[in-house]
Amino acid sequence: MVAGVNGEQGMKPIEYYNKVFNLLEEHHRWFQQSIPLIASENISSPAVREAVASDFGNRYAEGFPKERVYAGCRYIDEVELLCMEMARELFKAEYADVRPVSGVNANIAVYTAFTQPNDVMMSLSIASGGHISFGKKQFSGTAGSVKNLEIEYFPFDYESMNIDVEATKAKIGERLKANQPLPRLVMFGGSVLPFPHPVKELTEFFHEHGATVCYDAAHVAGLIGGGQFQDPLQEGVDVMTISTHKTLFGPQGGAILSKANHQEALKKAVFPATVSNHHLHHVAGKAVAFAEMLEFGKDYARQVVENAQTIAKELYDRGFKVLGKKSGFTRSHVLIVDVSEIAYGSVIERLLEDSNIILNRNLLPYDIKFGRHYDTTGGIRIGVQECTRLGMKRDEMRQIAEFIERLVLKNEDKERIREEVVEFRKRFQKIHYAFETATEAYEYLKIRS
């Protein structure tokens, strides 16, 4: 017998075992009945899930295809080469490395390839949309903690919700004048990216000042692949990192795309520097997801952006303070709502969760100035990519905005709204933008007999 973590005394191993499966099935049921609005998540197709459940997940294949340090990789190599080929096609990239096991892992490989400890990196602060992997050492951010990089933030314009080009150039000018080191690496992109970043306007400038320029497209990779967002590699960046499961079709993982001249540096920075074995079942899943994206990506990405713009306007018209109004609220899958006059973002997050509407709190660019932090944010973040994959369009975006209005602004009974959400969701159980759509999107796929 083993002591229970939640005070259950003496659960037997078989009881723990059964409990895990019960919880998994309950999770699936809950998501079948919920509206998923977390901007960094998506639903993967049964095809991707099948690939992920394959024996690849039990194998080792360190290194590059055809250069492995293990036997048994005959088919693994073929799948990985196909995966790389599709990634190059999807992102019009000369080099694709599909081995990073996450977006953070991909960013660490980029830091490894292009920086030395104590170098300066320029990126967005977390409150302005940067990712924790861009963060300073004093906040336990990845770049500071792992590579000891000094972080210089991009100046950010709250109104346009974007990097301020002239202020950025001025900041670099000031560093030059003060004889301070200039950024060796620049990271565009991040975790809140409603509008294209000024890549064209700034990349040449940074190159002239000796920096390598990267774009963290973790959030918008599916929109780039679908031709609906800025295309950073064509706009001049040297390298782009992605997550494979946010606006892309999963499974969870990362990848790096670049120009050919960076291939050797990146290849070594991934293996052996920062990845040993690279989750081969997820490489198989990425390959299937890339095939789906090549076939269906354009229609999907167009609908995602239309849905995001629709829900943003609907929320605004109903009285919510949606940021970025001047620029049309969003040109991606994500929007940010300032709820600071109503309640903390965390309170709204829980209120909505009780009615099966799943989203997350988010810092506003000006939250730190007002003394707010990650648990007392002034904002919430909404992403529509998963709902889009479930087939939702304009009318459903209106309906979701109405649910949120009734809960947050009209204080209607949350149990009643939850029942309406469950009813609403019944019509959206299939996955769209996939080759095979017979299995339901959140169906619990049982392999055990």
Give the nearer residue to ligand DSN in terms of CB position, either 126 or 293: 126
Site string for ligand DSN, 157-196 (x = CB under 6 A): ----------------------------------x-----
Secondary structure (DSSP) of 116-134: -TT-EEEE--TTTT--GGG
Nearest residue to ligand DSN on Cβ basis: 40
DSSP bridge partners of 338: 321, 379
Cα–Cα distance measured from residue 278 to residue 64, given in angstroms and rounded to the nearest whole number? 10
**Smallest separation (angstroms) from ligand DSN to the CB of 257:** 18
Give the nearer residue to ligand DSN in terms of CB position, either 262 or 381: 381
Interface with ligand DSN (CB under 6 A), residue from 32, 33, 34, 40? 40
Question: Hey, is 288 helix, strand or coil?
Answer: helix
Give the nearer residue to ligand DSN in terms of CB position, either 333 or 414: 333
The closest of 301, 302, 312 to 400, measured between CA atoms, is 312
Cα–Cα distance measured from residue 249 to residue 238, given in angstroms and rounded to the nearest whole number? 25
Cα–Cα distance measured from residue 351 to residue 353, given in angstroms and rounded to the nearest whole number? 5
Number of residues that bind ligand DSN (CB under 6 A): 3
By CB under 6 A, residue 131 contacts ligand DSN: yes
By CB under 6 A, residue 142 contacts ligand DSN: no
**Smallest separation (angstroms) from ligand DSN to the CB of 333:** 11
By CB under 6 A, residue 267 contacts ligand DSN: no
Containing H/E element for 96? strand 95-97
Give the nearer residue to ligand DSN in terms of CB position, either 242 or 293: 242
By CB under 6 A, residue 330 contacts ligand DSN: no
Secondary structure (DSSP) of 157-174: ETTTTEE-HHHHHHHHHH
Residues 6+ apart with CB under 8 A from 53: 281, 445, 447
Give the nearer residue to ligand DSN in terms of CB position, either 135 or 225: 135
Task: Check: CB of residue 431 under 8 Å from CB of residue 49.
Answer: no
**Smallest separation (angstroms) from ligand DSN to the CB of 128:** 13
Q: Cα(first)–Cα(last) distance of the chain, in Å?
A: 26
Strand 162-163 and strand 156-157: the pairing is antiparallel
**Smallest separation (angstroms) from ligand DSN to the CB of 177:** 35
**Smallest separation (angstroms) from ligand DSN to the CB of 352:** 16
Q: How many Å is the maximal CA-CA distance in the chain?
A: 70
* Binding-site ranges for ligand DSN (CB under 6 A): 40, 131, 191
